[in-house]
Chain A
Amino acid sequence: QSALAQPAAVSGSPGQSVTISCTGTSSDVGSYNLVSWYQKHPGKAPKVMIYEGSKRPSGVSNRFSGSKSGNTASLTISGLQAEDEADYYCCSYAGSSNFVFGGGTKLTVL
């Protein structure tokens, strides 16, 4: 199972919006509405930001939104804030209780 493809890095200024893409295949992202997104700060455990493609867990800011089209999922962060600077990972269910993560995207808030 190959990792989902994410851009290595994205950046934006405070207040701007950024979008991180996550490209898989018809065997994972394209087949299931079970894409989740995680925020990870160095030395910390990952935190879910989006699940089932576009749903936000309780407590996650509505500045985070998710979508999916075909084999590609996207995470959009609007109104960028300094604390959003982190690594972001997508994850998709890939069948038979297997999961595949993306390679991660480093978000820099300029």
Chain B
Amino acid sequence: EVQLVESGGGLVKPGGSLRLSCAASEFTLSSYSMNWVRQAPGKGLEWVSSISGSSSDIYYADSVKGRFTISRDSAKNSLYLQMNSLRAEDTAVYYCANYGYYFDYWGQGTLVTVSS
């Protein structure tokens, strides 16, 4: 059974940093475009970032451009999101998901809370 498991969320002060991880099992991350999608409390889903299978193409939503960095480690079959200069509005549950004409497999999400 395919599993994506996010980790690394937590409470951080404004301006701080966090690194999220997404570990895959029964699923080869490098075969797919991988994405981070977030949901702020009481709000809708928001696409955050994507990385192509070859890692050659990387894209970010305008709301996180210049602050977040997506990456992957094929040897560890894992996806990462380095989040710097965090703001209160980055508070959300962060999901990793693959995309192949639609967001197919999703993790259970990890909560990031940015608060002083």
**Contact B101–A89 (Cβ < 8 Å):** no
Chain A residue contacts of B106, Cβ below 8 A: 45-47
At the interface, is chain B mostly helix, strand, loop or mixed?
strand
Contact of B45 among A34, A46, A48, A97 (CB under 8 A): A46
A91 touches B45 (CB 8 A): yes
Q: What separation, in Å, do the CA atoms of A89 and B101 have in the docked complex?
A: 16
Q: What residues on A are CB-neighbors of B27 within 8 Å?
A: none
Chain B interface residue bracket vs A: 20 to 34
With most chain A CB atoms within 10 A of its CB, the pick from B47, B52, B59, B108 is B47
**Size of chain A's interface in residues, with CB distance under 8 A?**
24
Subset of 25 A-B contacts with CB under 8 Å: A1-B62, A36-B101, A36-B103, A38-B103, A40-B45, A45-B106, A45-B107, A46-B95, A48-B103, A48-B104, A51-B102, A57-B104, A89-B44, A91-B102, A97-B50, A97-B52, A97-B57, A99-B47, A99-B99, A101-B37, A101-B44, A101-B46, A103-B43, A104-B43, A104-B45
